[in-house]
Chain A
Amino acid sequence: MAKVQEKIAKLFPQATFEEGERLTVCIAPDQWHDLAKALRHDPDLNFDYLITIVGMDWPDAYGCVYYMMTTNSSEVIAVKVKVADREKPMIASVVDLWPDAGLFEREVFDFFGIIFLNNPDMRRLFLSIDWKGYPLRKDYDDDPAINPVSIENERQTDFTESWVEKDGKVEKVETRIFQPEDFVVNIGPQHPATHGVLRFRTCVNGEEIKKIDVYMGYIHRGVEKLCESLTYPQTLHYMDRLDYFSAHNYHHGLCRLYERAAGIKISRRAEVIRVMMDELSRIASHCLFMGTFCMDLGATSMLFYTLRVREQILDIMEKTCGARMTFNYDCIGGVMQDLAPDFQKDVKDLLAVLPANIKEYNKVFTGNVIARNRMEGVGVISREDAIAWGVTGPSGRAAGWSCDIRKIMPYSIYPELEFDEVLATEGDAMARFKVRLEEIVQSARILEQLVDNIPEGEYCVKVPKVLKLPAGSWFELVEGCRGVFGVYLESDGSTKPYRLKIAPPCLPLAGVVDHITRGMKIADLITIGGSLDYIIPDMDR
């Protein structure tokens, strides 16, 4: 880290560095693009994976915090860019360096009204074009009369706006998303194969896809804004409702962040319980993925086989957490309740039936000639693309990118556990499917190591009833079932977060769809979408 700081200080003498758990560089907006270029392309720095862009409304300025990682050594740094202009804040776009920044910048524009210069597509992302105000600004007026619920269709446009800098002057340019002669097919938001309410405006040439405009926001619930009005323990329950398959993992991430900020150390028993729950959810999540993915490809019966295991896991969780889906189990200081008395026996029963089930899945589906023809070589992502587009999780690992946070930045008790990071090199739909199948085996391996070694102790340490966090900012990364889940907290020392930003793994997964489907057949879109396994409430938040 010191080397990185030295190098940046040498290249940009005006840059300042903030004290904190991570190296944070503060840079003026006019130098930001040059710094970004150096961070991305300098071989010593090589920060090639942009994790997220956090839009901010500080009391004195608007701005962004960029979190990025280098695949050389898995180091994460933050770059803070502040713009003092509150009327028309503008920051240079970095979409030319990291393609996944395109969606992130649109999101920041949607929430804060910060314009990114030279981003070719500066439309709102989640809210309609006629939406008044920028909801995450602190002075946003949320009077429902201003933005009423309307049953009239929202205004649509074929144009997109961009702000381009030309000879020192900023110009607004309108460009077409689709050309007048393009044939555009609308897929979604109500479509069984989009896995929720996602909409693709698909431009086709015969059966071939020319371009896809991903249109989201059909389940944008404004979780980040809601969190700002709730106390820290209250914000936790929204984590269940983002990616509802990774409920435990997301809870784990946010709890770790709060505990780190408050300086709480939890018991080993709680750590073990949390990790076991994480791995159980991973198995349940991948099971449901296989079921719905195969259903998309026309193999309905697979759903019944995979849901059998999922139901068994839900039973285990229900006995301990009291719910089948929205568990709200991890809490600040540990977990809500102690384990159910027959938890160990149930987990052992599950581990006993898993190998036979996986064998069955392979027999029913993986070797099937139709399945193979539809999946092999479809939707190929190369390792470079996966990093550039921020495709993490099993989809990124299928492309050969070692991006498992449990391995590269081990947290909790993962360093002590024996398991392999499942990697493939093909990067196609088949590889993504196989990686998930193999991850079930690895999760089972982790459970096997832990099931007989749950230490005694308290499951939740004493935490003050009213939790106040010191002023500052924190960023935590954990491995969800679909990829890297990041959460950013800025605290002003009160009982409520000043800003809580959720960096979901599914937003980049949707962003890459356009890139990998170009030139593919329209039937392959279903395979590709299914194999990326995005969860819409997670990307929309």
Chain B
Amino acid sequence: MEVTTKSMPYEAWKDNEYIEKLVKELQESGTNVVVGKLDQLINWGRSNSLWPLTFATSCCGIEFVSLGAARFDMARFGWEVARSSPRQADFMMVAGTIVHRMVPVFRRLYDQLAEPKYVIACGSCAISGGPFRKSYHVAKGIEDIVPVDVFVPGCPPRPEAMIYGIMQLSRKIKVEKFFGGVNRQQKQEDFLREHPVEGVND
């Protein structure tokens, strides 16, 4: 299955083996025709309308501003508006260094994003700590804090690289399985068991 998005030729992607492996894994047990078609429909909608969260801590954020402005114009791809509230956003582009003090805030923002949610680690600081890796007050990559879907290297990445990164994300969303069993709603009891609240028994 050739997965592509925004009329990009399949051969132009740099990591087709990865997406092929992913598709194979997801479809190992086969899919019901009706469910599969429904999945395709939902994923088509989702992958073409990704709204980012305005989240920037440092330099990469300025390239993100450029991405939103007229020259690179991410709105033309359907990544329409950057939302300031995590509850209205689909994915967060982690643009900039995450330091110790920011980690709890960042984690909370991630928790507040509505499902389904995605994370793009943008720039070398978010990927590994980048030039500040040896510092006493920098988290060495955000992967230890939240699950990451796409990594966009660069210091800072050019807006074109960011576009490529978000397109990779929308390609991954296209092969997602929503009805096919992988995705289920978490029961409240399960959630509370995993996240116990002090002083609450029920």
Contact = CB atoms under 8 A, between A and B. Distances in A.
B144 A219 contact: no
A441 interface: no
Contacts, number: 128
Contacts of B108: 153
A311 B72 CA distance: 10
Given A128-B100, A192-B84, A218 B57 contact: yes
A220 B62 contact: no
Interface string A129-162: 0000001000010100001011111100000000
A150 B98 CA distance: 12
Contacts of B57: 196-197, 218-219, 536-537
Given A149-B100, A218-B105, A326-B156, A244 B69 contact: no
Contact of B103 (A150, A220, A291, A304): A150
Interface string A353-366: 00000000000000
| Residue from A140, A221, A308, A310 having most chain B Cβ neighbours under 10 A | A221
Nearest to A310: B66
A153 B58 contact: no
Contacts of A197: 57, 102, 105
B121 to A, nearest CB: 15
B183 interface: no
A537 B59 contact: yes
Contacts of B156: 324-326
A147 B70 contact: no
Contacts of A345: none
Contacts of B97: 219, 221, 537
| Residue from A151, A154, A245, A292 having most chain B Cβ neighbours under 10 A | A151
B138 A244 contact: no
A436 interface: no
Interface string A219-237: 1111101100100000001
A218 B102 contact: yes
Contacts of A308: 70-71
Given A244-B58, A307-B71, A326-B59, A219 B100 contact: no
B104 A150 contact: yes
Interface in A154-198: 154, 189-192, 196-197
A325 B62 contact: yes
Contacts of B99: 217-221
Interface in B137-153: 137-139, 144-145
Given A126-B137, A326-B156, A219 B58 contact: yes
A267 to B, nearest CB: 29
Given A154-B104, A190-B109, A219-B102, A127 B137 contact: yes
Given A192-B54, A226-B134, A244 B96 contact: no
B22 interface: no
Nearest to A197: B57
Interface string A96-121: 00000000000000000000000000
Interface residues on B, range: 35 or more
A120 to B, nearest CB: 23
Contacts of A211: none
B58 A222 contact: no
A377 to B, nearest CB: 28
B107 interface: yes
B137 A222 contact: yes
A363 to B, nearest CB: 18
Interface string A453-464: 000000000000
Contacts of A196: 56-58, 61
A288 interface: yes
A152 B137 contact: no
Given A153-B104, A310-B66, A311-B66, 11 more contacts: A128-B100, A147-B136, A149-B103, A189-B105, A218-B99, A219-B96, A221-B137, A222-B136, A292-B65, A304-B69, A536-B57
22 contacts: A127-B137, A128-B101, A150-B100, A151-B104, A154-B101, A189-B102, A190-B109, A191-B84, A196-B58, A196-B61, A197-B57, A218-B99, A219-B102, A222-B132, A225-B136, A226-B134, A241-B59, A288-B65, A307-B70, A324-B156, A325-B63, A537-B96
Interface of A: 126-128, 135, 140, 142, 147, 149-154, 189-192, 196-197, 217-223, 225-226, 229, 237-238, 240-241, 244-245, 288, 291-292, 303-304, 307-308, 310-311, 324-326, 536-537
